Structure 1
């Protein structure tokens, strides 16, 4: 923990205003770098979320970082989908009408490959498919983008951490060239701890807002604390930054999901290190302005 940790902790725990910082981007003030902008589900406002089409669209608008969600099929294929059900973002009800509640884990990869994952968003995307994680990381690599990979619902898929890391390793994403382009995040502290134990070199982020008193525990295996932006404050960000993560750097804060220019400027003023958004161009332009 950094030397300023005691002060930051005292402030956050007692609720004083002593460490409230000016309404500027603290990180930018310190090192001249604005917050990293991450395209949530590869830019869910502009293309069907978590599809290859969304990655392509994100690349066209200049999004350097994309975020995705990983689930596992009945036969062990890792696929990119936010929900643990196929119902919301595919035509699974029409193709497989008798198999409610249409959980990803109850379908094979071949069955999922038959589904239309784009028409719900718009006719222009009719025929888009649910990508496998292999297809997804290859497309991200094609565009030379960076990846914030979320292990979704890991409690439903025992061993998914090892399987995801194996696939990433096979695709070259764990070598020195790619490692700076990858972060693995999850709402599950146990899952992140497993990732860190299996591959200590991989950068990790915990999704949530643990109390300041809990931060020393998370700092043992997480490089980031990634809360909903509505739960962020300057004092909290400062307290998180006071801790050193497993790679001997201050913990970072990536806030989600920020979709307006005003919210982006406000959250940047708290000193966050990254902003996750469905509209990366809107946030990027707001921060530049």
Structure 2
């Protein structure tokens, strides 16, 4: 476990600026239609300033004025969906202290009740001590309360057979599969093309995204089951972005590109010049300042 010594100073700085940056999220519709600036997605919440994938991180993104948050979904030993990025709990919780004999501390080896005991905030800063790993349902309820929108990543689906169906079930139970959410407030993505294909097959109305940078020659086969290609920013060029835009995706609209992880102004402006539709970032305030995103 490591501690972020700058976290307290960062939080203090943010406390002085939140009132200036805005206390309510913008009402812009998703997608680039009618806009010249990219959408800004708060990666794992405002994760440069609060512990990633926690309710604190999405609350902070809301207070900074950002509609869109991104998260990661995995499954516990007893079948609960939880919001964690790594497939182990070691980096972002105190699991090594609470369960020292359970190395390598894989999520799939712990029950939801055991994970609920863990501190998911102290590693980032003392002010977040006691933050918990949220279940997907808890996370969805908080995003709903905050009037935010969700870019949901199904993480490592090969470890969790059937997680696509289960994720859709939880989304439905939480009220996230009605027309309003599906058309304006939800995107499901994965690094697994098979996972994206399964989600599209089960719910063809949901906007989906594939995480990666397929060769231009392979793009048409992705267009059959997804709406967006979301690449790492170091792997793309303006020509590649244009090639994606030149294809119609699964919903018959021009495919989009949301790139990650961009945390500095120069790179944000660079990918904006390439024509990306969205930027996924740990520092949404920095990116918004650079590109005028919404």
TM-score, normalised via structure 2 length = 0.87
Identify which of structures 1 and 2 has the higher relative contact order when contacts are C-alpha pairs closer than 8 Å and 6+ apart: 1
CA distance in 2, matches of 1:171, 1:31: 31
Q: Distance in 2 between matches of 1:31 and 1:172?
A: 28
Q: Which residue of 2 aligns with 1:149?
A: 152
Query: Which has more radius of gyration?
Result: 1
How far 1:42 sits from its partner (Å)?
0.7
Equivalent residue for 1:276?
280
Secondary structure, counterpart of 2:44 in structure 1: helix
Structure 1 unaligned blocks of 5 or more: 1-26
Tell me the C-alpha RMSD between the 2 structures. 1.3
Q: CA deviation at 1:287?
A: 1.0
Which residue number in structure 2 is paired with residue 128 of structure 1? 131
Correspondence 1:1-289 to 2 at 5 A: 31-179=34-182, 180-288=184-292
- Give the Å deviation of 1:63: 1.2
Number of residue pairs the alignment of both structures matches: 262
SS at match of 2:53: coil
1:134 match: secondary structure: helix
CA distance in 2, matches of 1:174, 1:249: 21
TM-score, length of structure 1 as denominator length: 0.89
Q: CA deviation at 1:81?
A: 0.1
Moved over 4 A (4+): none
CA distance in 2, matches of 1:184, 1:31: 23
Structure 2: 5+ residue runs without aligned partners?
1-30
CA distance in 2, matches of 1:265, 1:31: 19
Give 1:76 deviation, angstroms: 0.3
Quote the offset at 1:288 in angstroms: 2.3
Q: How many Å apart are 1:31 and its aligned residue? A: 3.8
